[in-house]
Amino acid sequence: QAADLERAGRPVQQALVDQLNDLRDQQYKLQADIAGYQAARVKAEAGFAEDRVRVQRLTQ
């Protein structure tokens, strides 16, 4: 909607601009959250792999 208004040479309402900025900020936060969750997953997988090796050594 904002792009259509800009292309038509009409001003974009400040409320719409604010909403777009809020959504952009939320998107960046969610992307950072996802990156953190992915890093935690990789760390957990590495820990599980180490535990698996340790259990195999102890049970042989």
- Please give the pLDDT value at position 51: 98
Mean pLDDT over residues 1-8, rounded?
85
Query: Band of the pLDDT at 44, cuts 50, 70, 90?
Result: very high
Mean pLDDT over residues 31-54, rounded?
98
Single pTM value for the model? 0.69
Q: How far is CA 60 from the centre of its chain?
A: 42
The phi and psi torsions of 10 (rounded to 5 degrees) equal: -100, 150
Tokens linked to 17: 């601009």
Q: Where are the alpha helices (DSSP H) in 1-60?
A: 2-7, 14-59
Q: Long-range contacts for 11-15 (Cβ within 8 Å, ≥24 apart)? A: none
**What total number of domains does the chain contain?**
1
Q: Which domain does 27 fall in, by range?
A: 2-59
Separation CA 52–CA 58 (nearest Å): 10
